[in-house]
A and B are shown apart, each in its own frame.
Chain A
Amino acid sequence: EPEVTQTPSHQVTQMGQEVILRCVPISNHLYFYWYRQILGQKVEFLVSFYNNEISEKSEIFDDQFSVERPDGSNFTLKIRSTKLEDSAMYFCASSDLGSYNEQFFGPGTRLTVL
């Protein structure tokens, strides 16, 4: 069964460093999303991406964040200068019919900022 994959599973970084989280969405999906879940809190939407551009973003997704689809398979989230409060689990998701349809989630990347 096709699935969304994410790497790395765990990333530890120093405050102020840049990190890139990688996702490979399901191959025939066209809509991609990033969510985050701070420990003990609810899953929060960050950004959605379609046709090589951001279609929607939340207020969390400030200038420190960027997304890219560098090739036909990968979808990345970059945090330019990490802060302690960026420590969270980051989930990538994809869907075939936009947000009106089921979104399949990847296993997540746990980001720890020291």
Chain B
Amino acid sequence: EDKVVQSPLSLVVHEGDTVTLNCSYEVTNFRSLLWYKQEKKAPTFLFMLTSSGIEKKSGRLSSILDKKELFSILNITATQTGDSAVYLCAVLSGNTPLVFGKGTRLSVIA
């Protein structure tokens, strides 16, 4: 059975801190890994990672994939209160749709 595990489950930081969120996976026929940010309702897309070692960056957020060790990290630098959300990791394997992890709840305190 395909499995996606995120850690930590929750995290509280102060504004300006840097955080690293982890996602490990065990799937057959891996295709890509996606990060989503879920605030109040719908997950919104952040990154899709397919190749190992290539960092994807968007502003203060960046992510990288390690296909040998089967994990990805999502980094957020200089955190702001608006970064408070649940960050979801999801994996595409074979022809199956997304398998999600439980998410990491990030709370950024002013």
Query: How far is A33 from B36 in the complex, measured between Cα atoms in Å?
Result: 16
Residues of B within 8 A of A (CB): 31-32, 34, 36, 41-45, 48, 88, 90, 92, 95-103
**In the complex, which residues of chain A have a beta carbon less than 8 angstroms from the beta carbon of B44?**
105
Instruction: Flag if B99 contacts A45 (CB, 8 Å).
Output: yes
**In the complex, which residues of chain B have a beta carbon less than 8 angstroms from the beta carbon of A44?**
100
If over half of B's interface residues share one DSSP class (helix, strand or loop), that class is named, otherwise mixed; here it is strand
**In the complex, which residues of chain A have a beta carbon less than 8 angstroms from the beta carbon of B43?**
43, 91, 105
A/B interface sample: 8 pairs, CB < 8 A: A41-B102, A56-B96, A91-B43, A99-B95, A102-B48, A103-B45, A103-B98, A106-B42
Which range holds the interface residue count of chain A?
20 to 34
Instruction: Flag if A91 contacts B98 (CB, 8 Å).
Output: no
**In the complex, which residues of chain A have a beta carbon less than 8 angstroms from the beta carbon of B45?**
102-104
Instruction: Flag if A33 contacts B41 (CB, 8 Å).
Output: no
Instruction: Flag if B102 contacts A42 (CB, 8 Å).
Output: yes
Instruction: Contacts A41-B102, A42-B100 given; indicate if A91 touches B42 (C-beta within 8 A).
Output: yes
Query: How far is A106 from B44 in the complex, measured between Cα atoms in Å?
Result: 9
Instruction: Flag if A108 contacts B42 (CB, 8 Å).
Output: yes
Chain A CB count within 10 A is highest, among B90, B95, B98, for B98
Extra contacts besides A41-B102, A100-B32, A103-B98 (7): CB < 8 Å:
A43-B43, A43-B98, A43-B100, A56-B95, A91-B43, A99-B97, A105-B43
